[in-house]
Structure 1
Amino acid sequence: MVSQKIIDKWYSQHVSWLLIPLSGLFFLVITIRRWLYKKHFLPISSLPVPVIVVGNITVGGTGKTPLVIALCNWLKTQGYYPGVISRGYKGQINQVHVVSHEDGPSLVGDEPLLIFKEAAVPVAIGKNRYQAGVELLKKYPEINIILSDDGLQHYALQRNLEIVVVDGQRLLGNTYLLPAGPLREPQSRLSTVDAVVINGENESLLDNRQSQFNMTMRPETWINVNNPHLRQPINAFSSERCVAMCAIGNPQRFLNTLASIGVVPFATRIFEDHYHYQENDFKEWLDEKILMTEKDGIKCHLFAPQNVWMLKISAQLDEPFYQWLQVKLTHLRENNGF
């Protein structure tokens, strides 16, 4: 796992020239791998329902999980029965597993559990996304569309639509491939996907591209981590002494969100993305309000003290995005027999 310090350097335009040859080797490897899939030297498996991949080409948080939740909610309003497949990163289960209400974040991963709870849709995890989809459809045969969370580079699964999320603040960093930069694939990969969603500032990454849309994150309410039934309005902590604590891919985005609602923490504590919280992490600030993201909060429910609150947000997309998606889904039904 890449450290937060290295990620911050990549997005501050820092380049380690000694690593550029390794980035060239990485480019060669991923290019050959994709060519092998394209020419069917490596097998590609298809599920019997449409698959929408939501991913990115960069390391670090871009906002994929809120987008997946928003897509699930919208699909349900359109009469679909969506399901989600995910790798289950940092979860303890190594085999394919269908998420249940008894599962915890250490078992299945924080992001799949957040999607399961917030979107209220079936979720399956597994390194083999195809097998995860098979198990999901076996248990929930009513599912008629599947979203693959963070599956852009998982070419072993056939996909019908590819949506890439780009951080509108950090964009593509220094634009170098791993390990000299944050790119998992070359920037040219953006020209081959079906849509690019910019999370935040509506920067133009590709000239004359119609399928590029804007997404913003809207803070909704504060939820008590110890007792989720307790809620507070967004401005509840704007004049209180607070500590910001998070373990996400882009912690600065959380801090910016706090500033936008008038919260100025007197202290911050940043952990590596997907960090497994411990009860001791809170002991230093038992007399202060501790503020977290929802992704952080679901990992702390069993041991968080009553002074810990998580911020519920929702992804807001332009109406043209949903119009575009409606057209794409109609086309899939008419031309692929779904």
Structure 2
Amino acid sequence: MRNFIKCNLVSHIIHFEYSIFGYLLLPLSLIYGLITNAIRLSYLLGLKKAWRSSVPVVVVGNLTSGGTGKTPLVIWLVLALQDLGFSVGVVARGYGGTVGSNPLIVGPHTTTNEAGDEAVLIYQRTKAIVAVSPIRRNAVKAVLVHSLVDVIISDDGLQHYALARDIEIVVIDGERRFGNGWWLPAGPMREREGRLRSVTAKITNGGRVFPGEIGMCLQSNLAVNLCSGERVSVVKLNNVVAMAGIGYPKRFFNSLKKKGVKLMKEVEFVDHQRYTAKILCPLTSRDQSLLMTEKDAVKVRSFAQDNWWYLPVDAVLSPLEAKKLLSLIITLI
């Protein structure tokens, strides 16, 4: 089921939710909805028992398939809690990696082929203890064996009910919201919008922020050269070819245009795409700049060219809302 959802065909269907083809997939959506609801209900009724960690677990997830800004929020939470003196562990499934059921602790030499791009990015940005496993309780156990932590943050896993959680944070794409509201594959939903009634906090990335939601934006200004580490204003790059292999590439391209970056070309790849020099080198000539997301950059450092750049992003919340969100976590520690 998970591999089916992740295929390229579904990515296109999500973007054309109202097409006739999309409606033909409604029977599959109903089956998906029945399965996901049955799984959740089995845990709510106690037919299945979730494993509980000895330290609080905060799940940061989403209701829709595709990028919502979840990983930048995880990084923000980790850094904010570290600044307050807390030790934070992070667990992730490791999408795009080859890790099996045995958990992997991410380290300085861990590759994205092993642990997936998001786990490596979180480790590089925060230096927190990051463990990867498709069975998240195994990842949590690995963190607890490896280090004394005060709290564990799960990057994604809202629908992974086998792991008990103390706080659920849902990140919403403020521009696309919930599309036609249908389950995958006819729509973008992993769970229906009503699931929001039971979560702890709703974070809306960009777009319109509805009552009861916390607004968030992704801030980025300086592009970083992958070879030299040089930092320049992104608008000073010449002849920019932009590429992105994330859940919603157009968000990256649109953000560049809003900053005044003139793009010669936009190149989309699937989320968690594995890159090679053979794939990327032909995208630009020597007088052009290849600009990518930080999530893409962690996968290409070993063969990066001197005209390749990436744009780091930071999640930004209002000070008041940030304090409220952190307080919810701190009261559990």
TM-score, with length taken from structure 1: 0.92
Deviation at 1:245, TM superposition (A): 1.1
Deviation at 1:10, TM superposition (A): 2.5
Quick one: which of 60, 65, 70 aligns to 2:71?
65
Q: Distance in 1 between matches of 2:267 and 2:329?
A: 43
Matched with 1:157 is: 163
Distance 1:4 1:178, change over 3 A: same
Q: Which amino acid aligns with 1:91?
A: G
- Pair 1:197 & 2:203 matched: yes
Structural mapping, 1:194-273, within 5 Å: 194-204=200-210, 209=212, 212-227=213-228, 229-237=229-237, 240-273=238-271
Q: Which amino acid aligns with 2:11?
A: I
SS at match of 2:301: coil
Deviation at 1:266, TM superposition (A): 1.0
Matched with 1:37 is: 43
Deviation at 1:53, TM superposition (A): 0.3
Q: Which amino acid aligns with 1:122?
A: I
Deviations 1:204-241 (A, max 9, x none): 2xxx53xx1000011132111233x322223322xx21
Cα RMSD of the aligned pairs, angstroms, is 1.6
Q: How many residue pairs are counted as aligned between the two chains?
A: 324
Q: Distance in 2 between matches of 1:137 and 1:311?
A: 33
Quick one: which of 74, 82, 86 aligns to 2:88?
82
Quick one: which of 25, 40, 45 aligns to 1:19?
25
Q: Which amino acid aligns with 1:217?
A: L
- Pair 1:320 & 2:320 matched: yes
Q: Is the 8 A contact 1:289 1:307 kept in 2?
A: yes
Q: Is the 8 A contact 2:17 2:186 kept in 1?
A: no
Q: Distance in 1 between matches of 2:10 and 2:185?
A: 10
Q: Distance in 1 between matches of 2:128 and 2:330?
A: 22
User: Tell me, which stretches of 5 or more residues in structure 1 are unaligned?
Assistant: 333-337
Superposition misfits of 4+ residues, deviation over 6 angstroms: none
Deviation at 1:8, TM superposition (A): 4.7
Matched with 1:335 is: none
Deviations 1:18-59 (A, max 9, x none): 211221122111111111111221121111111110000100
Structural mapping, 1:137-176, within 5 Å: 137-141=144-148, 143-176=149-182
Matched with 2:285 is: 286
Deviations 1:126-164 (A, max 9, x none): 0111111111111112x1111000010010111010000
Deviations 1:276-335 (A, max 9, x none): 111012332132111000101111101121110000111101223222224323542xxx
User: Tell me, which stretches of 5 or more residues in structure 2 are unaligned?
Assistant: none
Q: Is the 8 A contact 1:221 1:313 kept in 2?
A: no
Report which stretch shifted further, 128-137 or 5-14: 5-14
TM-score, with length taken from structure 2: 0.93
Q: Is the 8 A contact 1:12 1:174 kept in 2?
A: no
- Pair 1:7 & 2:11 matched: yes
- Pair 1:180 & 2:198 matched: no
Q: Distance in 2 between matches of 1:165 and 1:114?
A: 18
SS at match of 1:266: strand
